[in-house]
Chain A
Amino acid sequence: MIAYLIRRMLYAIPILVGVNLLTFALFFVVNTPDDMARMQLGIKRVTPEAIRLWEQQKGYDKPLIFNREAKGIGRLTETIFWQKSASMFWLDFGYSDDGRDIQREIGARMWPSLAIALPTFLIGLFFYVSFALVMTLFRATLLDMAGVALCVTLMSISGLFYIIGGQFLISKLWHLVPISGYAGGVQGFRFLVLPVVIGLISGIGSSSRWYRTIFLEEMGKDYVRTARAKGLSEIRVLFTHVLKNAMIPILTGVVVVIPLLFMGSLLTESFFGIPGLGSYTIDAINAQDFSIVRAMVFLGSLLYIAGLILTDLSYTMVDPRVRLS
């Protein structure tokens, strides 16, 4: 088990190197630091001195990959690649354009993100699976068809609609909760209710329908027939046998996103003014702060790979036949 974990983590390294090289190519080779400087300082009237000063301030005044002028190991380390890209491996994300330490910002902002994303995820998982189970129990009846029709319709509505409509209805017309904002501790509850509820509603369609498909596929298998032949009730078959066997496909899609919960949701956070990582990313995109975007890309893939490893671990918990070696 431990050996397997260590090996998986070693496998992750080449992938992270790939992500790192990709972001490096995207941010520094497609457009050189000169282009960036011209972009940030305004396209037309910009002097070469101003560009050089900007690059110096940001630390972009070095060669890209190989520094001929430096000595020894400095030939590799005194470069943009080493100082801006490779340094992300030890979680040194550098500074944003307004001079803040990105690593510290991430540390502070991931908790509000988690406060929204974790309840949405947990309640959602429970709710969607239950809804799918009900639809499976009443399969091929009017109830099931109505459920599927509801799912398809909900799926077809833009996520933006749920947020804008929800804010308008609940906060503006009915004044039940504040439109946006955030507070820590118990106070924060009233700010969290609406984003969580909207997050739940916008997920019903695709998730429930997907779980229903998984359950229906399991229903056609031999062990279900055996269980029925034994005289088990339909509910018993569904909840103990089918649910357990459907765990593997469900976990495959679900566990991967757990680490990504830290990243929050771009839309929800920016609409509800929650100071999490999602709104941080959106602000960075709008301000064209490339160092933050670069850091988020790397962090995102790091968390995704962690999710993949967690998925494998979760298989051993629900299915004793799976042995990691």
Chain B
Amino acid sequence: MSFVPVILWSDALVYLLVAAGIAAAIYVRRHEHLLLPWRRVGESSVALVSLLVLSFFLLVGLLDTLHYRVVLKQGAYSPEVLSVFDKLAGPLRLHVEKTYSAPLAISLYAKESMLDANGRVVRDYPRLKYGGAGIKDAALRDADVARRVGTGALLGLLLGGLVIWISKAERRAVAIALLLICALFGVTLELSCAYHVLGTDKVGQDVLYLSLKSIRTGLIIGSVTTLVTLPLALFLGVAAGYFRGWVDDVIQYIYTVLSSIPSVLLIAAAVLMMQVTMDTHPGWFDTAASRADLRLVFLCLILGMTSWTGLCRLLRGETLKLREMEYIQAAQSFGVSPLRILTRHIVPNVMHIILISLVMDFSSLVLAEAVLSYVGVGVDPSMISFGTMINAARLEMAREPVVWWSLAAAFGFMLTLVLAANLFADSVRDAFDPRLNRS
């Protein structure tokens, strides 16, 4: 089976971000004074543990970014765009049941009429096609689940121990967290070979698979948006603060206008307009995935356009302060060109503000995605995300008995991601904020 790699727009932007991240990391490694605050981040166990959790999410997100299309025959591609993650999680993706089933269930959630061995019609819970396929009855299931949890945990712990041994993780909190994550991973992997660990949704898709797929959407919203925010805020904020005069007036006017519109309304208006444009030009997209993807990129663009004003204001204020410093005046009197003063002396000195504000914004963007999808101005309804999951599962709370697992899974994954991001952001702020006096 041959395939061709597909690079969607969002993939390209993610690669760009990853490359920028690696370049920045190499640059920081070479400069001891830049490394210092990161060492302070590394001293905090909370930061390391949250970074560990985040890197698990990042791994899933990155695997899900490597897209490809299967070649059916010479010159014809499958219309489906898959990712490496889809391939790895193949059974999860393909084991689609008829409709709802509870976590670890072996039968469907609702009774159906069916024929028993003697040809009579009985109403019972039909067995799942894939969930617990080899298990005879419910009593045996518990024993099987227990056995699988045991093996999974054991394998996970072994893997965790191996990782600790290789990486020489000395911190106890980090080691415990690593072991826990590995054990959880092992149990989930072992269970998901035979069951739907988090149940299935209305059309029978595995909820665990949906939750893991949602991670990429959340990460992209949180990170690609910064690609828009950062250049705008940095360039305009520093220019306004340094040049003052009419430049300052114009830039201040632009960001006051933008920030005076409540952000949800501005986003809604822009997304509605984007929808009209996309609907009137159906020829722009060759696959459904590229259409959904472009909408995601546009959403990031719009979120970035509406959220750069806060950072811009901060940078302007800081630059106003910096430009009165002696070393800037010295540079000016030496005849250094404004461009060089900005890039050599001002921008490096506002970097901590940028970093703090970017990591702080990340979690709120992930949360905003869910809300925007609910309002109807979020990602494409066909794109798997926490927002679309919550939206689809919201009405099921009214059923009797309640279908709770989709919602619980979406909220649980979101909480883990956002909490880890928040804790990490706090540590970064503590390490980089010069106002905090350390001794």
Contact = CB atoms under 8 A, between A and B. Distances in A.
B371 interface: yes
15 contacts: A19-B260, A22-B258, A35-B280, A43-B282, A158-B390, A159-B367, A160-B394, A164-B390, A164-B397, A266-B264, A266-B371, A285-B272, A293-B272, A297-B265, A301-B257
Main SS of chain B's interface residues? helix
B257 A19 contact: yes
Given A27-B273, A152-B422, A301-B262, 9 more contacts: A22-B257, A30-B277, A43-B280, A156-B419, A158-B371, A164-B390, A267-B374, A293-B269, A300-B261
A172 B397 contact: yes
Q: Which of B363, B374, B415 has the most CB of A within 10 A?
A: B374
Given A22-B257, A160-B374, A286-B376, A30 B280 contact: no
A281 B268 contact: yes
Contact of A158 (B397, B402, B414): B414
A288 interface: yes
B49 to A, nearest CB: 14
Contact of A23 (B269, B279, B423): B269
A247 B4 CA distance: 61
Contacts of A39: 276, 279-280
Nearest to B417: A156
Interface string B251-265: 001101110111011
A168 interface: yes
A95 B73 CA distance: 56
Interface of B: 253-254, 256-258, 260-262, 264-266, 268-270, 272-273, 275-277, 279-280, 282, 363, 367, 370-371, 374-377, 386, 390, 394, 397-398, 402, 407, 411, 414-415, 418-419, 422-423, 426
A260 B263 CA distance: 12
Contacts of B266: 297
Contacts of B397: 164, 167-168, 172
Chain A interface size range: 35 or more
Nearest to B258: A22
A305 interface: yes
Interface in A264-307: 266-267, 281-282, 285-286, 288, 290, 293-294, 296-297, 300-301, 304-305
Contacts of B418: 155-158
Interface of A: 14-15, 18-19, 22-23, 26-27, 30-31, 35-36, 38-39, 43, 152-153, 155-161, 164, 167-168, 172, 260, 263, 266-267, 281-282, 285-286, 288, 290, 293-294, 296-297, 300-301, 304-305
A116 to B, nearest CB: 16
A36 to B, nearest CB: 6
Contacts of A43: 279-280, 282
Instruction: Label chain A's interface by main secondary structure.
Output: helix
Most buried by A among B256, B265, B266, B272: B265
Contacts of A304: 260-262
A167 B258 CA distance: 35
Contacts of A30: 273, 277
A121 B282 CA distance: 45
B303 to A, nearest CB: 15
A296 B265 contact: yes
Nearest to A36: B276
B427 to A, nearest CB: 12
Nearest to B369: A158
B300 to A, nearest CB: 18
B415 A156 contact: yes
Given A157-B415, A164-B394, A168-B397, A285 B262 contact: no
Contacts of A305: 260
A290 B275 CA distance: 12
A158 B418 CA distance: 9
A161 B402 CA distance: 16
B422 A160 contact: no
A153 B419 contact: yes
A288 B272 contact: yes
Contacts of B390: 158, 160, 164
Contacts of A288: 272, 275-276
Given A31-B276, A172-B397, A294-B269, A300 B262 contact: yes
Nearest to B370: A158
A10 B374 CA distance: 38
Contact of A31 (B280, B370, B375, B394): B280
Given A31-B280, A297-B265, A285 B370 contact: no
A234 to B, nearest CB: 21
A31 B275 CA distance: 10
The listed residue with most B CB atoms (<10 A of its CB), out of A36, A39, A156, is A156
A155 B418 CA distance: 9
A272 to B, nearest CB: 13
A40 to B, nearest CB: 9
A301 B260 contact: yes
B211 to A, nearest CB: 14
A35 B281 CA distance: 10
A152 B419 contact: yes
| Max count, chain A CB within 10 A of own CB: residue among B276, B280, B363 | B276
A282 B375 CA distance: 6
Given A18-B257, A158-B370, A168-B397, A152 B423 contact: yes
A281 B264 CA distance: 10
A39 B262 CA distance: 26
B273 A26 contact: yes
A149 to B, nearest CB: 10
A22 B270 CA distance: 10
Of all A-B residue pairs in the complex, the 4 with the closest CB atoms, nearest first, are A18-B257, A156-B419, A300-B262, A156-B418
